[in-house]
A and B are shown apart, each in its own frame.
Chain A
Amino acid sequence: MLMRNLTRAALATTGIVVILAGAASAQDKVKLTFLFDNAPSTVAMAEALATAFEAKNPNIEIETESRPGGADGDNLIKTRLATSEMSDVFLYNSGSLFQAINPTQNLVDLSAEPFQANVIDSFKTVVTGTDGKVYGAPIGTAMGGGIFYNIPIYKELGLTPPKSWAEFMANNEKIKAAGKTAVIQTFGATWTSQLFVLGDFYNVLAADPNFATDYTAGKAKYASTPAALKGFERQEEVFKAGLLNEDFAAATFEDGVTKVATGEGAHYPMLSFAVANIKELAPENINDVGFFAIPGDDAAKNGLTTWMPAGLYIPKTTKHEAEAKQFIAFVASVEGCDIQTQSAGATGPYLVKGCTLPADVPPAVADLLPYFQEGGHSAPALEFLSPIKGPALEQITVEVGSGIRDAASGAALYDEDVKKQAQQLGLPGW
């Protein structure tokens, strides 16, 4: 009897303690806000990371918020930073778009954070401000800008992935002769039109190693540098050769991904992250898609233009800097990488030391990885070597790619656009 009473009392006390503890933690709970773009793979990844982090840190609650991508998103980020309304942690591009949000004024310096020791240096350079301080940590994987191809079509016609532009065009002719769409373009989503120009940068650098520096200094121009002009010319060439899908002017990114996966078209120039979208939109065809770099003139100098993943940043206006740093450190850890792989799939190499990919990656990713490995040939896209990227490129490439404007005048127009951006950034020499 006594025993039972005691037990009951003990239980009751424990109950009270538990309740008290609960009350205390609810009171002390810090609420972090976390902003990211609304691409389904990002949303899945970000929410999985937030949930896992909350489980490990019961005193922190993360409120997630998604935003539009593309130019609308750029605008929203700039406005919210400028008006001190930014979330405690936000995801945004690295490279030139990162430079355009004025990091030295707006962001918290993360150079001295212990987790930076595990971040690969090549990423640090693309989230470093003009003052030499590191402001971000990587989320997601590195990517390549190249061409997805449909493996069954290649097998059927006995083709091999091209190493030079001439081989690529020869393949295209054979595909066209077989009555198929050789190249898919999707100008319904204008941003997808930039690949022939941006993804050709490895070849630009191969021909002119100083292009990025001269371009930043205002000395090298697209219109007057033959190697750089080539990207525009090739886009024009592909259009003029009549290789495109009938609905190229209206098709969207999802259409493009689906077409290349299901064999409605043979080639789709795109960033390699689209593997995640193939998995989502045409899961049964994920093994039918391969990937190669945009070829240049010389087959011997073949290599890939690469993109760094987005970064996580903390605005100076945050009230929870310590907790925000804790969250970022969690994302940029091996555990963080594994959660990303589980939630969004493996699309390329991570930029955190010790992170690994599962053995059974899709063929497109398997094609991508050798470029990154030691002895592989790759170079970062221009937006990671120079802070200047003109905002109107996607409209210009749509015009060049649909025959509204010729390559030379497109390149000249882009030079004007770049000049505006350089002046806005206040760079010397413009």
Chain B
Amino acid sequence: MRHAQRYIFGGIAIAASVVVFLVPFAFIILTAVKDRRQAATRSFDWPTSWHFWDNLVEVVRTQDFMLVTAFVNSIILTVASVTLLVVLGAMVGFVLQRRPSRWTPIVNFLVLAGLIIPPAVVPTIWVLQSVGLFKTLHGMILIEVAYGLSFTILLFRAFVATIPRELDEAAIIDGAGPLRLFFQVVLPLLKPVVVTVIVVQSVAIFNDFTNPLYYLPGKQNVTVQLTLFNFQGQFNTSLHLLFMNILLITIPPLIVYLFFNRQIVAGMTAGAVKG
């Protein structure tokens, strides 16, 4: 009886998942390999002729290999910002949880504020310019860090609570300073939540559209999401190339996911929801 139920529910769930989740992806893939005319009909049908390679080459070559530049920029941006977020966020989360002081309520308030307040775009450009970081990848990295810190700190603070203080005390006896304690003892123990932060933030930053649009203008600074503009103009949309582009830029987040798949739930379990 239970055995049968397991298969019945499983079968229904799989059928539903195909309709709800797989059809849209099939639509992306099918449109990406069609020719221009067939793609323009937006129909969900089998390609009359296959143009996977042609479309791929055209998308990659558009605007002097803009997509290649975009991939390089986006990967640098993502890796650098996520690294900074992990280290800086963990440092704050650690001290915040371990040592309540008069700073604690202020930091808590700022963390919450960072989560709630929508960034003020124009004043931010104004600030970036005055410190000479506008239109630079460095500036963009710091922006992503500033915007991602709140969420990261929340995750870390919750998780640090699960690490016994006795470890810290043992470290003192061994004569460790704060840096050694943090980098050699605490940070390695934070691994599950580090994985969560890496997955969530790298997907968010890699897929960020709005912020690079404003803080990182210029052809040589293009990021992957902005390459979608190439095929969706005011007067002209090439659906086949647009969807090929979507397909290509979905690959890196997919790799990150496949790589960390098993650990995501573990990280959430350990840190996120224990409070």
A interface residues with partner B (beta carbon < 8 Å)? 37-41, 63, 65-66, 68-70, 73, 76, 79-80, 83-85, 189, 191, 252-254, 277, 280
Asked if A68 contacts B218 (CB within 8 A), the reply is no
Asked if A68 contacts B233 (CB within 8 A), the reply is yes
User: CB-defined interface of B45-70 with A at 8 Å, one 1/0 digit per residue?
Assistant: 00000000000000000010000000
Asked if A277 contacts B129 (CB within 8 A), the reply is no
Asked if A66 contacts B63 (CB within 8 A), the reply is yes
Asked if B217 contacts A80 (CB within 8 A), the reply is yes
Known contacts A65-B219, A85-B134; A79/B236 CB under 8 A: no
Asked if A38 contacts B135 (CB within 8 A), the reply is no
Asked if A253 contacts B229 (CB within 8 A), the reply is no
Shortest beta-carbon distance from A188 to chain B in Å: 10
Name the B residues within 8 Å of A76 (CB-CB): 217
Known contacts A83-B125, A254-B236; A38/B229 CB under 8 A: yes
Asked if A253 contacts B63 (CB within 8 A), the reply is no
Q: Given the complex of chains A and B, what is the CA–CA distance between A147 and B217 in angstroms? A: 37
B235 at the interface (CB under 8 A from A): yes
Q: Given the complex of chains A and B, what is the CA–CA distance between A41 and B237 in angstroms? A: 13
Asked if B234 contacts A69 (CB within 8 A), the reply is yes
B230 at the interface (CB under 8 A from A): yes
Asked if B125 contacts A79 (CB within 8 A), the reply is yes
Within 8 A of A (CB), among B191-239: 214, 217-219, 229-230, 233-237
Asked if B235 contacts A83 (CB within 8 A), the reply is no
Pick the 8 closest A-B CB pairs, nearest first: A69-B234, A39-B235, A65-B219, A38-B233, A70-B234, A40-B236, A68-B229, A83-B129
Name the B residues within 8 Å of A252 (CB-CB): 237
Q: How large is the interface on B (under 10, 10 to 19, 20 to 34, 35 or more residues)?
A: 10 to 19
Which residue of chain A has its CB nearest to the CB of B63? A66
Which residue of A63, A68, A80, A85 is within 8 Å of B234 (Cβ)? Answer: A68
Name the B residues within 8 Å of A84 (CB-CB): 129
Name the A residues within 8 Å of B219 (CB-CB): 63, 65
Name the B residues within 8 Å of A63 (CB-CB): 219
Which residue of B129, B214, B230, B236 is within 8 Å of A39 (Cβ)? Answer: B236
Name the A residues within 8 Å of B217 (CB-CB): 76, 79-80, 85
Which residue of A39, A40, A65 is within 8 Å of B218 (Cβ)? Answer: A65
Which residue of chain A has its CB nearest to the CB of B235? A39
Residue among A83, A84, A252 with the highest chain B CB neighbour number at 10 A: A83
Asked if A39 contacts B134 (CB within 8 A), the reply is no
Which residue of B122, B218, B236 is within 8 Å of A277 (Cβ)? Answer: B236
Name the B residues within 8 Å of A40 (CB-CB): 233, 235-236
Given A79-B122, A253-B234, list of 13 further CB < 8 A pairs? A38-B233, A38-B234, A39-B233, A39-B236, A40-B235, A66-B63, A69-B234, A76-B217, A79-B125, A79-B217, A85-B134, A85-B218, A254-B40
Known contacts A65-B218, A79-B214; A85/B135 CB under 8 A: yes
20 CB-based A-B contacts, threshold 8 Å: A37-B233, A37-B234, A38-B233, A38-B236, A40-B233, A40-B235, A40-B236, A41-B235, A65-B219, A66-B63, A68-B233, A70-B234, A79-B217, A80-B217, A84-B129, A85-B134, A85-B135, A85-B218, A253-B234, A254-B40
Q: Given the complex of chains A and B, what is the CA–CA distance between A277 and B234 in angstroms? A: 12
Shortest beta-carbon distance from A317 to chain B in Å: 12
Name the B residues within 8 Å of A280 (CB-CB): 236
Shortest beta-carbon distance from B217 to chain A in Å: 6
Residue among B125, B126, B219, B235 with the highest chain A CB neighbour number at 10 A: B235
Shortest beta-carbon distance from A265 to chain B in Å: 17
Asked if A39 contacts B135 (CB within 8 A), the reply is no
Shortest beta-carbon distance from B257 to chain A in Å: 30
Known contacts A65-B219, A80-B217; A191/B134 CB under 8 A: no
Which residue of A68, A191, A254 is within 8 Å of B237 (Cβ)? Answer: A254
Q: Given the complex of chains A and B, what is the CA–CA distance between A83 and B121 in angstroms? A: 13
Name the A residues within 8 Å of B125 (CB-CB): 79, 83
Which residue of A79, A85, A253 is within 8 Å of B235 (Cβ)? Answer: A253
